[in-house]
A and B are shown apart, each in its own frame.
Chain A
Amino acid sequence: MADPAGAGLLRALREPAAMAGFEPALWNLVLPRARNAGLVGRLGVRAEAAGIAAALPERVRDMLVAAEAVAATHDRMIRFEVGRIRRALDGTGIGFTLLKGAAYVLGGLKAARGRLVSDVDILVARERIDEVERRLIEHGWRQEKTSAYDQRYYRDWMHELPPLRHRGRMTVVDVHHNILPLTGRLRIDAAKLLAAARPVEGLDGVTILAPADLVLHNVVHLFQDGDVNHGLRDLADLDDLLRHFGPEPGFWSALAARTAELGLGRPVNYALRHAAALLGTPIDPALRAAVGRTAAPPPIDRLMQALLGRALARSGQPAPDLPTRLAREALYLRSHWLRMPPVMLAGHLARKGAMQFLPERQGV
């Protein structure tokens, strides 16, 4: 089934110079899709880098400028929030490691430019997480998810606290102690991530994940966590990360070693293949070959490729067609399958299903 909007958006990301030749009718498909996928700012950054921004129609430029202004606002907000988290933890000696968008912003990565970041994700040592939570609550953040089930879901099973929202600024901090759930099939020793994290200049106690770990966290989030709603945006982040760190000496071998060490060959395989196929991301052939050897048996591998390909290319489609909806559902179920043992999963999904039919309430 043809999807000219999605195809146009991928082309714009892959070959930014091609945007100079886009017809108005194509822009009218690509811009709404890019907006719904959270990628308008990124198009602006890439058009600028390709030196063709001035050649774009005036109304397109308006929208790219507007999107970059919003992204710049988020950038400032993230820097401010990181300062406030530091202040809340002042005197405890607890350091924290920035993940995802906040890491891209404070690390000065290209992936940050034009990207929308809504939450600050931080990683802390598990044994200090209660203290971190207490400190944040003392400093104005509070729990959003107050039902007993949600609390238990996060605290006992997941790799993060329930989201903490600041009551004045309404910003959200997600405090993680790992990048994968406690109940999942794949386990990662978070101490290794913290040990390898790199300091942020001028901000004592604040670190960002090492380059290989930043890449792996992106991969885990996208290909393990089942969060394909922002799939293409996350894949574009991966593309930016690999283009940014790829030329650094030793990056690819460190990524290969880390992938093997943490047992993430299969999701990395999916991620690299899709990044290369959809966005033309340059990939080290040795790493590609190494993770290719960890691929799932051919029928499962082909099915996963098809599901992911569909879900990613249709990111931001407002009324997805049936195959896309099925692909999204299948990936969502898969992520939960990977996240918890079957009996726990059955209970969780039954409960979430039933919740749709009940009015909102608390403390269940």
Chain B
Amino acid sequence: MKLGELSTDETAAQLAGAGLALETGPFAVNLRCAAPGAAAFIRLLYPEHRVATGEVVHTDVAVRPHFNRRRPWRREAQLHIDDRPLMQALPRRFAAPMLEWGLNFAIGSRAHHLLILHAAVVEKNGRAVVMAAVSGSGKSTLCAALVSAGWRLFSDEFGLIRPADGALMPVPRPVSLKNESIEVVRRLMPAAVISPPYHDTAKGTLAYLRPPDDAVRRQFEPAMPAWIVFPKFRAGAPLTATPVPRAQAFADLLANSMNYIALAERGFAAMARLVESCPAFALEYSDIPAAIAHFEGLAAGETAA
């Protein structure tokens, strides 16, 4: 059953009760949150995702009201992973996005059966591009822009590599947009569904872009990586794509890996295979249409990267 087929009341009842088990790519996670607005948030962003009731889940993510003993007047919420508190309690108005942060934590810190890169991944014609970069480099914005141009969303946050064959696994979830990029994406995709903004988070204003239905329906279709890109947004800069030598690409990806060490030889083999099978380049850009055009050129095989 798809989540969108549940009514808001039913969704809220499950979230407030034993939890709503949600499948996203190779993960199933049980979500629990009784805060008002959580059901609407989840229904808005995950309508095409399958509800995995009665199945094994990887992790339980719960957001619960938190009583601050020193400041009892504050209305706070606390994130719990498998019933253990994680991070500081936050204002209760962040309860719904805290579910997203919990999901990120659950994937990034637990999925050691896969090599995890901190990267956005999109695919066209069966070939995927891995965009690895630290937060704040415009990775999510560029990812959303490519999605608006018809690229299939794998993730704006996790490049998940299956060690057995080096394939990238999709985990299409809401794209987190920060500050100015919310308006940028709204202009690029006038029909897109974007959550209400959450102001004054640690990263400023946050809003979530619903993943395209097609990306969710095809969430079990992996793809082989074809390009590695290290994007960097720099205001006013003309678009440049500078080839990155393999050894350098390996080192830069390593800095963006969440569990390379834990995977040991399997991690090395997967990383080596990635840099040997794909050209890598550093992309500096400021104009989004120009960046999209560059990627379209790659997909069409016109641009030598």
Residues of A within 8 A of B (CB): 24-25, 27-28, 31-32, 35-36, 57, 59-63, 65-67, 69-70, 72-73, 76, 318-319
Q: Kindly provide the distance from the CB of A42 to the nearest chain B CB, expressed in whole angstroms.
A: 16
What are the residues of chain B within 8 A of A76 when measuring CB–CB? 264
Q: Which of A25, A60, A63, A72 contacts B110 (CB 8 A)?
A: A63
The 9 closest A-B pairs by CB, nearest first: A66-B112, A318-B83, A32-B82, A69-B112, A65-B113, A59-B56, A24-B56, A62-B113, A27-B56
Question: Is A63 a contact partner of B58 (Cβ separation < 8 A)?
Answer: yes
Q: What is the bound-complex CA distance between A7 and B28, given in angstroms?
A: 24
Q: Which of B26, B57, B82, B111 contacts A35 (CB 8 A)?
A: B82
Question: Is B83 a contact partner of A73 (Cβ separation < 8 A)?
Answer: no
What are the residues of chain A within 8 A of B54 when measuring CB–CB? 24-25
Given A69-B113, A70-B112, A73-B262, CB of A318 within 8 Å of CB of B82:
yes
Q: What is the bound-complex CA distance between A31 and B111, given in angstroms?
A: 14
What are the residues of chain B within 8 A of A24 when measuring CB–CB? 54-56
Smallest CB gap from A60: residue in B: B56
Q: What is the bound-complex CA distance between A9 and B296, given in angstroms?
A: 52
Q: Is the interface of A mostly helix, strand, loop or mixed?
A: helix
Residues of B within 8 A of A (CB): 26, 28, 30, 54-58, 60, 82-84, 110-113, 259, 261-264, 266
Q: Kindly provide the distance from the CB of B20 to the nearest chain A CB, expressed in whole angstroms.
A: 13
Most chain A CB neighbours (cut-off 10 Å) among B82, B111, B113, B259: B113
Q: Kindly provide the distance from the CB of B213 to the nearest chain A CB, expressed in whole angstroms.
A: 24
Q: What is the bound-complex CA distance between A61 and B58, given in angstroms?
A: 10
Q: Kindly provide the distance from the CB of B113 to the nearest chain A CB, expressed in whole angstroms.
A: 4
What are the residues of chain A within 8 A of B28 when measuring CB–CB? 59
Question: Is A73 a contact partner of B264 (Cβ separation < 8 A)?
Answer: yes
Question: Is B264 a contact partner of A28 (Cβ separation < 8 A)?
Answer: no
Q: What is the bound-complex CA distance between A252 and B92, given in angstroms?
A: 59
Q: Is the interface of B mostly helix, strand, loop or mixed?
A: loop
Question: Is A69 a contact partner of B58 (Cβ separation < 8 A)?
Answer: no
Most chain A CB neighbours (cut-off 10 Å) among B28, B110, B111, B259: B110
Q: Which of A31, A32, A62, A72 contacts B26 (CB 8 A)?
A: A62
What are the residues of chain A within 8 A of B30 when measuring CB–CB? 28
Question: Is A59 a contact partner of B58 (Cβ separation < 8 A)?
Answer: yes
Question: Is B113 a contact partner of A57 (Cβ separation < 8 A)?
Answer: no
Smallest CB gap from B30: residue in A: A28
Smallest CB gap from B110: residue in A: A66
Q: Kindly provide the distance from the CB of A66 to the nearest chain B CB, expressed in whole angstroms.
A: 4
16 contacts between A and B (CB under 8 A): A24-B54, A25-B54, A28-B30, A28-B56, A32-B60, A59-B56, A59-B57, A59-B58, A65-B112, A66-B110, A66-B111, A66-B112, A69-B259, A69-B264, A70-B262, A318-B84
Q: Kindly provide the distance from the CB of A200 to the nearest chain B CB, expressed in whole angstroms.
A: 22
Smallest CB gap from B53: residue in A: A24
What are the residues of chain B within 8 A of A67 when measuring CB–CB? 112
Q: Kindly provide the distance from the CB of B53 to the nearest chain A CB, expressed in whole angstroms.
A: 10
List 18 other contacts, CB 8 Å, given A65-B113, A69-B263. Answer: A24-B54, A28-B56, A31-B56, A32-B60, A36-B83, A36-B84, A59-B56, A59-B57, A60-B56, A61-B113, A62-B113, A63-B58, A63-B110, A69-B112, A69-B259, A73-B264, A76-B264, A318-B83
Q: What is the bound-complex CA distance between A319 and B78, given in angstroms?
A: 15
Q: Which of B58, B60, B259 contacts A62 (CB 8 A)?
A: B58
Q: Kindly provide the distance from the CB of A4 to the nearest chain B CB, expressed in whole angstroms.
A: 14
Q: What is the bound-complex CA distance between A60 and B55, given in angstroms?
A: 11
Q: Kindly provide the distance from the CB of B73 to the nearest chain A CB, expressed in whole angstroms.
A: 22
Given A69-B263, A72-B264, A318-B82, CB of A28 within 8 Å of CB of B113:
no
Smallest CB gap from B111: residue in A: A66
Smallest CB gap from A67: residue in B: B112
Question: Is B262 a contact partner of A69 (Cβ separation < 8 A)?
Answer: yes
What are the residues of chain B within 8 A of A59 when measuring CB–CB? 28, 55-58
What are the residues of chain A within 8 A of B82 when measuring CB–CB? 32, 35-36, 318
Q: Kindly provide the distance from the CB of A233 to the nearest chain B CB, expressed in whole angstroms.
A: 16
What are the residues of chain A within 8 A of B110 when measuring CB–CB? 63, 66
